Structure 1
Amino acid sequence: MQLTLQGDGSTIEVSETVLGADYREPLVHQVVVSYLSGARAGTKAQKTRSEVSGGGVKPWRQKGTGRARAGTIRSPLWRSGGQTFAAKPRDHSVKVNRKMYRGALRSILSELLRQERLQVVTAFELDSPRTRDALEKVRSVAGSDDVLIVDTEVSESLYLAVRNLPRVDVRDTVGLDPVTLLAHENVVMTTDALRRVEEWLA
């Protein structure tokens, strides 16, 4: 499968398996949900009626007051009472097999290429860590301000140049994930990064 590089117009041979895969929406959805679930802290905690401090004494006698019967001031019906179904710390992560995860990444990259939202360049380098220069280069390559830049390793000058751009993100191939790929309008990837991704997903 031939792919035209952005900028110089030359072509390179890329893997049909990685960049020519069908878009499998249910698989992508499952992997994205799993990824986001795994990112949840899961530290939420509330107290049940038995855990709230106080409430050991019956507030008034059972009969004769004309009021509704009550056994504790920590009933969930009362102000400052316990929670009926109290949330407890738990693990929200959902297991996804490696084969599914890689299949979802292949689907996403292939769909980005079909929609012309994936641009491959020989290299993405800056002479100086200036945000203005970085924005001009991003716009010239991707034609958009909302861009994910993927390289084999992130240089310090590139990181410093784009860190103040709210919709531009830069990642190395190790930190590539489905949620970040889908979060941006365009993805700019260097040829070295593409080769490494192909090795990983082939």
Structure 2
Amino acid sequence: MEVAVLKQSGEDTGRKIALAESVFGIEPNDHAIYLDVKQYLANQRQGTHKSKERNEVAGSTRKIKKQKGTGGARAGSIKSPVFRGGGRIFGPRPRNYSFKLNKKVKQLARQSALAYKLKDNNISILESISFDGPKTKDYLKLLNGLSLTNKKTLLVLADVDQNVVLSSRNIKNAQVTTASNLNTYEIIKADTLIISEGAVQKLEEIYNSAS
């Protein structure tokens, strides 16, 4: 599929770029997308949650009343979970939520997400992107030229450009990444992808070489 190449100002260059069917035109796999997003979110979890169990709370272990004859249930310690201030039964413990996902599945998920964006015409290709310095107003000018000021955008660069990254940092719903760091969650979360021509070539190299 061919997509128009735009200037940084949003004007049409008059050229079109053919996006590789093997990367942007595959039949999307929803389950692969689900698994990759699930893994990404699981990896963000710190897993440091912890509650005290009965052997960890402060309190006496003295038997608080006799075993029989009180008319109530037996009670051996004030630290019992049935009492206020006692330990918690089966409380959360620190754990690692991450899990392994096959590289082929992750690649399929990212290509599927890209295919959905292309199918919905939510991909803009820019000839090149460069700023003289880290200025928020320059990035706002870029979004305004593309009529994407009020959209969630993900700008994909071929390589890290600190001026572009820093210019976008104070703008709500504007995110910048590189072709090699692109992930499914970021693609799905964004309303529109803005991809530089260099990044398109890099994406096609990455995914075609991994096939």
Amino acid corresponding to residue 4 of structure 1 in structure 2? A
- 1:89 paired to 2:97: no
Which residue of the other structure, out of 22, 26, 29, is the alignment partner of 1:24?
A: 29
* Pair 1:191-2:197 in alignment: yes
Which amino acid is 1:170 matched to?
V
Indicate the residue corresponding to 1:107 in structure 2. 112
Partners of 2:52 and 2:127 lie apart in 1 by: 57
RMSD of aligned C-alpha atoms?
1.7
How much has 1:162 moved relative to structure 2? 1.3
Q: Determine what percentage of the aligned residue pairs are the same residue.
A: 30
5+ long unaligned stretches in structure 2? 7-11
**Aligned runs of 1:25-64 on 2, under 5 Å?**
25-64=30-69
Please, what TM-score do these two structures have when normalized by structure 1?
0.92
**3-state SS of 1:10 partner:** strand
Amino acid at match of 2:118: L
Q: Which amino acid aligns with 2:115?
A: S
Specify which of 110, 122, 126 is matched with residue 121 of structure 1: 126
Gaps of 5+ in 1: none
Q: Does 1:148 align with 2:154?
A: yes
Map of 2:9 onto structure 1: none
Q: Secondary structure at the match of 1:88?
A: coil
Establish whether residue 172 from structure 1 lines up as the match of residue 155 from structure 2: no
The normalised TM-score by structure 2 is 0.88
User: What are the Cα deviations for residues 164-191 of structure 1, in whole angstroms up to 9, with x where unaligned?
Assistant: 1011111122321111111111110101
Tell me, yes or no, if the aligned pair for 1:142 and 1:188 is still in contact at 8 Å: no
Q: Is the 8 A contact 1:129 1:157 kept in 2?
A: yes
1:76 is aligned with what amino acid?
A: P
Output the CA distance in 1 between the equivalents of 2:48 and 2:180. Answer: 28
Q: Deviations over 1:128-175 (max 9, x none)?
A: 432223112112125343211110123222122211101111112232
Partner Cα separation in structure 2 for residue 60 and residue 142 of structure 1: 74
Q: Contact 1:152/1:196 (CA < 8 Å) preserved in 2?
A: yes
> How many residues are matched?
202
